[in-house]
């Protein structure tokens, strides 16, 4: 499969999109408010400290994970394969990337591909692959590059499940959760990977790579390349999360915030487009088991399915995710 020029590899709407001056000015104003890089806490998986883990989840909602046990060569190979796949022509990617892998652009897989392109303010300047890890063994491809990518993702998925389970069990211990009740709060079978490509270029001043949001997951695990762009919201300001080789960024998600009775926070974050370089990231999301009810003193009982249906309804009708506030008990406090 020959690689194409960058222009041909982008979705057509990315090649021709023009933002009207008024909207461009509004966007540019919001893009000038990042205030330095974040000294985010570091957690060592090999020597896991509950105190450090608790402080990171309570104060930041994310942390940098070191000594995670994933071989640097595996992370490097995944990044290289992702770059080769995304460099294919747009039409080739649409044809090649079929179930269980799916290809999307312009918006996260939360809504149908391209649905957010109705207005420039809602555009996520990205394209991506959505990969449910439990379905990967059934994926068959005669293309050697795609088959190799599948094998790498399967190996990576095993590491991610190990890391997520280890971290969640430590969090459950820190929060003194009932072991029986908390077992179904994180299910390995729900894990999926999204591989993102953020195009570079002049749109860096006119659109976000990904607009501000919180993750709906229990935990999210992010492997960044060395192009900066990830930003978090803390203490009423936006801070840059610098990429550091062979480390992972762990996000507390909405489900974990609810499970923890708001002891932990689901961190709001966004991605800035880089003017000079494309940016790639590989993100893992894991959720409660299907039908598992989350019980919390702060929220009415709900399942992840209830939550996701409400998010999709809000996104369709309002244009954005409301999230946990839809389930918060009015009598809170």
- State the CATH number of the domain containing residue 36: 2.60.120.330
Q: Strands of 120-173 (E only): list them.
A: 127-132
Residue 329 lies in a domain: no
**How high is the pLDDT of residue 15?**
67
Count the domains in the chain. 1
Between 315 and 46, residue with greater pLDDT: 46
Residue 296: helix, strand or coil by DSSP? coil
pLDDT, tens digit (0-9, with 9 covering 90-100), for 168-199: 999 999 999 988 878 899 999 999 999 999 98
What is the Cα–Cα distance from 315 to 127, expressed in whole angstroms? 19
> What's the DSSP call for residue 11?
-
What is the Cα–Cα distance from 333 to 326, expressed in whole angstroms? 16
Residues 97 and 286 sit within 8 Å (Cβ to Cβ): no
> What's the DSSP call for residue 137?
G
For 68-92, what is the mean pLDDT?
94
**How high is the pLDDT of residue 47?**
96
| Reported confidence tier of residue 330, pLDDT bands at 50, 70, 90 | confident
Between 115 and 74, residue with greater pLDDT: 74
Residue 294 lies in a domain: no
Phi (first) and psi of residue 24, to 5 degrees: -60, -40
Residue 124 lies in a domain: yes
For 232-243, what is the mean pLDDT?
93
**How high is the pLDDT of residue 179?**
83
Residue 229 lies in a domain: yes
Between 213 and 273, residue with greater pLDDT: 213
Residue 156 has pLDDT above 70, yes or no: yes
Q: Which among 82, 140, 93, 18 has a CA at the least distance from the CA of 282?
A: 82
Joined tokens for residue 20: 């009207």
What mean pLDDT value characterizes the chain? 86
For 214-240, what is the mean pLDDT?
94
| Reported confidence tier of residue 120, pLDDT bands at 50, 70, 90 | very low
| Reported confidence tier of residue 22, pLDDT bands at 50, 70, 90 | very low
**How high is the pLDDT of residue 139?**
81
* Least confident window among 97-101, 116-120, 133-137: 116-120
What is the Cα–Cα distance from 172 to 191, expressed in whole angstroms? 19
Residue 298 lies in a domain: no
Residue 23 has pLDDT above 60, yes or no: no
Report the percentage of the chain scoring pLDDT > 90. Answer: 61
Residue 312 lies in a domain: no
Domain that holds residue 188: 6-288
Looking up tokens 């487009």, which residue turns up? Answer: 273
| Reported confidence tier of residue 111, pLDDT bands at 50, 70, 90 | very low
What is the Cα–Cα distance from 286 to 185, expressed in whole angstroms? 10
Residue 314 lies in a domain: no
Kindly list the strands in the beta sheet with 279-287, ordered across the sheet, starting from the edge strand earlier in the chain.
42-44, 62-66, 248-252, 219-224, 279-287, 187-198, 127-132, 102-105
| Reported confidence tier of residue 206, pLDDT bands at 50, 70, 90 | low
pTM exceeding 0.75: yes
- Element counts in the chain: helices (H) and strands (E): 10, 15
Residue 9 has pLDDT above 90, yes or no: no
Residues 210 and 199 sit within 8 Å (Cβ to Cβ): no
| Reported confidence tier of residue 33, pLDDT bands at 50, 70, 90 | low
**How high is the pLDDT of residue 333?**
46
Residues 101 and 161 sit within 8 Å (Cβ to Cβ): no
Contacts of 289 by beta carbon, 8 Å cutoff, 6+ apart = 184, 185, 186, 187, 189, 190
Joined tokens for residue 194: 């999204």
For 154-162, what is the mean pLDDT?
97
Residue 306 lies in a domain: no
> What's the DSSP call for residue 196?
E
């Amino acid at each position: 499969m020959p690689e194409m020029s960058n222009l041909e590899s982008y979705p057509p709407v990315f090649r021709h999109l023009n933002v009207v001056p008024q909207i461009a000015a509004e966007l540019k104003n919001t893009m000038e408010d990042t205030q330095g890089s974040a000294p985010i806490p570091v957690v060592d998986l090999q020597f896991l400290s509950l105190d450090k883990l608790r402080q990171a989840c309570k104060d930041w909602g994310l942390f940098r994970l070191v000594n995670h046990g994933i071989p640097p060569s595996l992370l490097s190979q995944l990044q290289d394969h992702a770059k080769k796949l995304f460099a294919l022509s747009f039409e080739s990617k649409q044809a090649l990337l079929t179930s269980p892998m799916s290809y999307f652009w312009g918006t996260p897989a939360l809504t149908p591909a391209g649905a957010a392109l109705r207005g420039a303010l809602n555009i996520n300047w990205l394209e991506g692959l959505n990969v449910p890890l439990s379905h990967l063994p059934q994926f068959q491809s005669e293309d050697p590059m795609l088959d190799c990518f599948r094998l790498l993702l399967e190996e990576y998925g095993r590491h991610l499940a190990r890391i997520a389970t280890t971290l969640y069990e430590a969090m459950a211990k820190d929060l003194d959760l009932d072991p029986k009740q908390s077992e179904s709060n994180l299910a390995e079978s729900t894990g999926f990977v999204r591989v993102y490509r953020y195009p570079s270029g002049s749109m860096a001043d006119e659109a976000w790579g990904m607009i501000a949001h919180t993750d709906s997951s229990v935990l999210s695990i992010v492997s960044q390349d060395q192009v900066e762009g990830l930003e978090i919201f803390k203490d009423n300001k936006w801070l840059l999360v610098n990429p550091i080789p062979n480390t992972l960024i762990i996000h507390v998600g909405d489900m974990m915030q609810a499970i923890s009775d708001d002891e932990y926070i689901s961190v709001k974050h966004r991605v800035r487009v880089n003017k000079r370089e494309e940016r790639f990231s590989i993100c893992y999301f894991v959720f409660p088991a299907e039908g598992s009810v989350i019980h919390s003193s702060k929220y009415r009982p709900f399942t992840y399915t209830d939550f996701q249906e409400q998010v999709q309804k809000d996104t369709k009708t309002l244009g954005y995710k409301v999230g946990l506030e839809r389930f918060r008990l009015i009598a809170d406090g």
